Amino acid sequence: MKLKTLRQKVCALHAELPRNNLVTWTSGNISARDLDSGLVVIKPSGVLYPDLRPEMLVILDLAGRIVEGKLKPSSDTKAHLYIYRHCPEVNGIVHTHSPFATAFAAAGKPIPPVLTAICDEFGGGIPIGAYAPIGGNEIGQEVVRTLGSGPAVLLK
């Protein structure tokens, strides 16, 4: 996929996060890995969702070097890149702060598979991982440790 097209798709997906009450202010982010180049597109840090434009997204290599973009990449960039480096099957990451998922995470509880919708969407319950500080590899390490073969994880 062309990086321009991937930037447009990732930007459009970011617009869905606040529309669906999955984030507030500038929290959360989405990244995607280009299958052809291996480069990653991610939201810049501190940009409000309504202001986000495709050309503002930052493109990096898996080592974290900026290939394109003038803005600072998300504070979660190292975590996203860690996941991509350790999970070759993962080509997109969505980091939300939805009220219900955040409540489960704050309580230190996994989301049990009590609804058909949870099983349909996630294949079962959503596990909970330990707290990890923002800004380094730690969140990515905890996601990889907790994720297993499922598509989602909560972090305390």
Whole-angstrom Cα Rg for the chain:
15
Nearest-angstrom CA–CA distance, 121 and 11: 22
69 contacts 56 by C-beta, under 8 angstroms: yes
Residue 151: C-alpha distances to residues 20, 53, 56 (Å):
19, 27, 27
Torsions phi, psi for 42 (to 5 deg): -145, 155
55 contacts 66 by C-beta, under 8 angstroms: no
Which one has a higher pLDDT value, 96 or 24? 96
User: In this predicted model, what pLDDT tens digit does every residue of 41-63 receive, in sequence order?
Assistant: 999 999 999 999 999 999 999 99
